[in-house]
Structure 1
Amino acid sequence: MENKSHALAAGAFVVALLALLTALAMWLTRDTTEQRMFEISSAEGVTGLQPQAAVRYKGVLVGRVTDIALDPLQRGNVLLRIAVNEAAPITRTTYASLGFQGVTGLAFVQLDDKDEGSPALVAEGDAAPRIPMRASMVSRLSEQGGNLLTQLEQASIRMNGLLANDNQKQLMGAISNLSDAAANISALTKRADQVLGADGNPVAMNLPHMVAQADATLKSIQITTERLGASADAVRNSATEFQRTSKRMSDPGGTLDKIGQSTDALATTSRQIQIQLLPRLQRTVEDTGRTARQVGRAVESLNDNPQSVLFGRTTGLPGPGEPGFVAPAPATAP
């Protein structure tokens, strides 16, 4: 009976001690700052965001997410309720976006302001004021990725069309027409020299025949010029389209610029993960392992000697050769 009463007293003491430690921890970690409540309605998904997630204003921790639910006012939206410190400068132009903590996938609410001179955002009536939600960098990158691929595909199609067999044939035809026109002009020049010459050539005296040949030559030159003009227009249109496509790709904000910006953003995110997140994650794992080992040793000690909670750790009886050793009395024969 005495052992059972000691065990019951030890258990009651442990329970009371745990309750006191819990109350002390809650009292030490309580938040005494004044906070304001805001709402955020998001048309995008909030995967990775959990209650009690951090709310940061330009990277500074200013509050926590208190609740995540569906928006009753806007069908299909997600409603976030956040508690923000009174000192945070939340204005009418403040907007929110989702940020992600490295490779863990955990999200937090990032607040920013595009015009710091705007008036403060205050509640109108009983409802909490709402902060508009903008798409995060990851969402914008995923949306623009398809557009970039589409523009690259269109540019390659236009370049292939410019170098198609039909266009090449038209270009070669234009060059051939130029050669024929030069030959006709050369022949006409020779005929004119014969007509106007004074060498007594019989051909020079046949002016009607020469005029007829000149007229035929001029008509041939006119037809050749028309064909050459059509070929030149086709080549000019193809060159203009190719120039427009190249300019659209190389201009600021174009396809190549967007690809470079996306690559820089991914490289920056990767460097931040390697510099900030991985060392913190390693230290957290080491601290967790050390704490688990200490808790295990404490539990083993409590199981081996539960009365040590009330009476403290006791030392064993001195053995032979140690100070205070008393030899047991010899047993007496019956």
Structure 2
Amino acid sequence: MHWRQIMGKDSFALMTGLFMATLIIGVVIIISWLGGVHQQTKTYIAETLASVTGLKNGSTVYYRGIETGKVSGIRFDPEHPKLIIVSMKIDKDIQFTRGVYAVLEMKGVTGLTQIALKDSGKNPELLPNGKRIPIKPSLIERLSVSGEEMIEQTHELMIRLSRLLNDKNTQHVEQILVNVETATQKFNRLQDSVEKALSQVPVLTADAHHSLLKINNLTDEFTLLSQQLRQELFTFSKQSGKLMQTGTAVGQQLLQTTLPKTNTLIMQLQATTRRFDRIGTMIETEPQMFLFGAEPLQPAPGEPGFKEAQ
């Protein structure tokens, strides 16, 4: 009787265990089935050469602030060992363009990171199948890199300042400051001179106004003189015209009457002069001929009275 009771208890426990196991398996199957029905996913690959510290399998993937999937795997690319590829299961209804890129964002203060997908909007074409999504440096990473570069630049600047502020350059700087102070004093004196000159501007303005009045009076007188001179020139032009007409008439008379008579008289004077020249020549060469007359010509050969020379 006791043995039967024990067997009955064991059978009840076994049946209870089998029922609970079946129930759990059924619930898991139902949950998995419901998850497969309500959220069908598509695998996308993201890649980066940088570190993915804090990212792990199951990390949430956001697209424009909305949860769209999970990280399903992180590994190195066999073909490019320096390249890290991250597999993501994304809701199949989400469509990406060629402008999509990924950024790692910190998840609170836990040190874990999650993927945020963003679209630059520069290329509206749909992302083809198999096209990898680049992971760009996050703001913190850019600030970290910028901070390191800034520290290096600051260090270099300090070195240059240390070289610049040596004893020799310090003396030069002091001399420059002295020169600046001297120039400032000269500038102040110049400013005082300018103020004095500006105080005399009203007097100069009055003198200039008085001079302008005199210039206006002189201009009026010059205008009147110009008008008188224009009238005189007009009168002189008329008289010059008459004089030119008279000169033209006299010239024509000289050409037509006086010049021909003058030419005839000159020709007669030339003939008389030539005669006087011949007489003068005869007097110089044979003065006896002028007193006794011309000797008779000697007979030429063959003429009567010709005598040969002995």
Q: Give me the TM-score of the superposition, normalised by structure 1.
A: 0.46
Question: With CA pairs under 8 Å and 6+ residues apart, which has the higher RCO, 1 or 2?
Answer: 1
TM-score (norm 2): 0.50
